[in-house]
Amino acid sequence: MLSLKSSLSGVFALLLLGQVALVRAELPEFTELVEEASPAVVNISTRQNLPQRDVAIQGQMPDLEGLPPMFREFFERNVPQMPRAPGGGRQREAQSLGSGFIISDDGYVLTNNHVVADADEIIVRLSDRSELEARLIGADPRTDVALLKVEGRGLPTVMLGKSHALKVGEWVLAIGSPFGFDHSVTAGIVSAKGRSLPNESYVPFIQTDVAINPGNSGGPLFNLDGEVVGINSQIFTRSGGFMGLSFAIPIDVAMDVANQLKAEGKVSRGWLGVVIQEVNKDLAESFGLDKPAGALVAQVLEGGPAARGGLQVGDVI
Distance, CA of 195 to CA of 202 (rounded, Å): 11
Distance, CA of 264 to CA of 36 (rounded, Å): 32
DSSP structure class, residue 129? S
Distance, CA of 50 to CA of 89 (rounded, Å): 10
Distance, CA of 253 to CA of 262 (rounded, Å): 14
CA distances (Å), origin 119, targets 43, 48, 114, 126, 223: 15, 5, 10, 19, 31
Q: Residue 78's CB: how many other CB atoms inside 10 A?
A: 7
217 is catalytic: yes
315 is catalytic: no
Residue of 114, 127, 183, 209 with catalytic role: 114
Residue of 45, 140, 144, 184 with catalytic role: 144
Secondary structure (H, E, C), 206-242:
EEECCCCCCCCCCCEEECCCCEEEEEEEEECCCCCCC
Residue of 45, 163, 191, 217 with catalytic role: 217
State the DSSP H helix or E strand holding residue 249, giving kind and residue range, or none if neither.
Answer: strand 246-250
Task: Report residue 147: phi and psi, to 5°.
Answer: -115, 125
Kindly give the pairing relationship between strand 108-112 and strand 41-52. unpaired
Distance, CA of 210 to CA of 174 (rounded, Å): 7
Q: How far apart are the first and last CA of the chain?
A: 76
Contacts of 263 (CB under 8 A, 6+ apart): none
Contacts of 86 (CB under 8 A, 6+ apart): 51
Q: Would you name the residues annotated as active-site residues?
A: 114, 144, 217
